[in-house]
Amino acid sequence: METDASAIPTAELAPFRPEAHALPPLSTGRGVDRAFRLATGACGMLVAGVLLLVTVFMVRGALPAFQNHGFRFILSPDWDPTNQKYGALTFIFGTAFTSAIGMAIALPLGVLTAVALVELLPRGLAKVIALAVELLAAIPSVLLGLWGIFELVPLVRQVELAIYRSPLGLKDLPIFAGAPMGVGFLSAGLLLAIMALPFILAISREALSQVPVAQREAAYALGATRWQAIRRFILPYSWKGIFGAGLLGLARVLGETMAVTMVIGNTPQIKASLFATGYTLASVIANEFTEAPSDLAISALISLGLILLVLTILLNATARFMLFFLNRRMSGVGAP
């Protein structure tokens, strides 16, 4: 039997209408899509723009001071607003000295604490302690300064008095020179150490916990004690991460303003003694900006801010690159 082609019921099939099959979201979404992409892109550019803006405006604001004094501005120890003479050295010294004290305390303390948290203490307790120290990072610096004025400074004064009266003649050492007043570099350095600690602890902890288990097992297989395993097998492995932690902590400490301003004594002098009072880049801006007698004074203070900006950008960039390459190397281990 032959089938007649015309017998196939073609009439029942609806005629093909392409517009009925087009996907509505695609055709109606494109304009919105483009607008959304543009809007979020603008936000992204704004973030980059802030970085550009801060650089441009800080350089522009600092220009008059640098035109007036040249680059001697950075190395001159004079700060004499009445005679329009400005130099940054006193404050660079203050920032460097307080930061050095802060890091000298916070770095060993942070690393040792990280070792205790990762290697020694039970996990639950370690978690609670880590949380407590991280909470420290959430406390605004002005409140640590408040605590510094009313509790830390009197405490430091007691310690300084004890050193001053000690029969060993410790007060003749240049590092302990000066009157035991409580306010000064030591108090400022201690507060900076407290502020840097959460950062150093967090990053050191991460670096330590990234050490492969095999590394640890190898140490124990060789008969190492727990401390030997830590000292010779685990710490060397995380050394770069810890160094990055130090740089990030330092970058944070350099620009710290309020707490330092409240306990350092605010005296423009260069004295490398823990007992001496001083002045840092950030604290002189905080104290003198609103009372600056001239446009040149304002420009000089902005220049101090520019020095801070350049230092923190350099430190942060170095630390980020180190941590970035470190992570890449770590994640590269064992990967195909």
Partner 1 sequence: MMTRNQLRRAHGRFMEAICLLATLLAVAPLAAFLWHLVAMGAGAMTADLFTQVPLPPGESGGGLKNALAGSLAVVGLATLAGIPVGIGAAIYMTEFARPRLAFLLRFACDILSGIPSIVMGLLAYQLLVRPQHHFSALSGALALAFLMLPVVVITTQEMLHLVPGNLREAGHALGIPAWRIATSISMRAAAPGVLTGALLAVSRIAGETAPMLFTAFGNPYFSLDPQAPIATLPHSIFTYAISPYDDWHRLAWGGALMLVLGILGATLLSRFILWWHQRHLHA
Supply the minimum distance, in Å, between the C-beta of residue 135 and partner 1.
6
Question: 159 or 317, CB closer to partner 1?
Answer: 317
Question: 174 or 294, CB closer to partner 1?
Answer: 294
Phi, psi dihedrals of residue 79, rounded to the nearest 5°: -145, 95
Sequence letter at residue 196 = A
Q: Is 42 in the site for partner 1 (CB under 8 A)?
A: yes
**Part of the chain binding partner 1 (CB under 8 A), chosen from 51-59, 83-91, 169-177, 270-278:** 51-59
Give the H/E segment covering residue 141: helix 141-147
Q: Is 232 in the site for partner 1 (CB under 8 A)?
A: no
Question: The dihedral of CA 122, 123, 124, 126: what is its sign?
Answer: positive
Question: Whose CA is closest to 330, among 232, 215, 175?
Answer: 215
Alpha-carbon distance of 15 to 101, in angstroms, equals: 85
Q: Tokens 């980020």 sit at which residue?
A: 320
Give the residue, chosen from 99, 252, 271, 275, that forms a contact with partner 1 under the rule CB under 8 A: 252
Supply the minimum distance, in Å, between the C-beta of residue 326 and partner 1.
15
What is the distance between the terminal CA atoms of the chain, rounded to a whole angstrom? 66
**Part of the chain binding partner 1 (CB under 8 A), chosen from 38-46, 177-185, 271-279, 325-333:** 38-46
Could you say which residues in the range 57-86 bind partner 1, by CB under 8 A? 57-58, 60-61
Contact map string, positions 262 to 301, toward partner 1, x by CB under 8 A:
x-------------------x--xx--xx-----------
Sequence letter at residue 211 = V
Residues 6+ away with beta carbon under 8 Å from 302: 58, 61, 62, 65
Query: Exposed, middle or buried: residue 36 (CB in 10 Å: 0-12, 13-18, 19+)?
Result: exposed
Question: 136 or 177, CB closer to partner 1?
Answer: 136
Supply the minimum distance, in Å, between the C-beta of residue 2 and partner 1.
45
Cα-based angle 275, 276, 279 (whole degrees, multiple of 5):
135
Give the residue, chosen from 170, 232, 317, 329, that forms a contact with partner 1 under the rule CB under 8 A: 317
Give the residue, chosen from 8, 46, 162, 222, that forms a contact with partner 1 under the rule CB under 8 A: 46
Supply the minimum distance, in Å, between the C-beta of residue 300 and partner 1.
12
Could you say which residues in the range 87-146 bind partner 1, by CB under 8 A? 108-110, 112-113, 115-117, 119-121, 129, 132-133, 135-136, 138-146
Alpha-carbon distance of 174 to 276, in angstroms, equals: 10
Q: 10 Å Cβ neighbour count for 302?
A: 23
Give the residue, chosen from 64, 81, 255, 268, that forms a contact with partner 1 under the rule CB under 8 A: 255
Q: Is 302 in the site for partner 1 (CB under 8 A)?
A: yes
Q: Are 176 and 272 in contact (CB under 8 A)?
A: no
Supply the minimum distance, in Å, between the C-beta of residue 100 and partner 1.
18
Could you say which residues in the range 151-210 bind partner 1, by CB under 8 A? 151, 194, 197, 201
Question: 190 or 330, CB closer to partner 1?
Answer: 190
Supply the minimum distance, in Å, between the C-beta of residue 77 and partner 1.
22
Give the H/E segment covering residue 86: strand 85-86
**Helix, strand or coil, per DSSP, at residue 225:** coil
Supply the minimum distance, in Å, between the C-beta of residue 217 and partner 1.
18
Residues 6+ away with beta carbon under 8 Å from 225: none
Supply the minimum distance, in Å, between the C-beta of residue 297 and partner 1.
13
**Helix, strand or coil, per DSSP, at residue 123:** helix
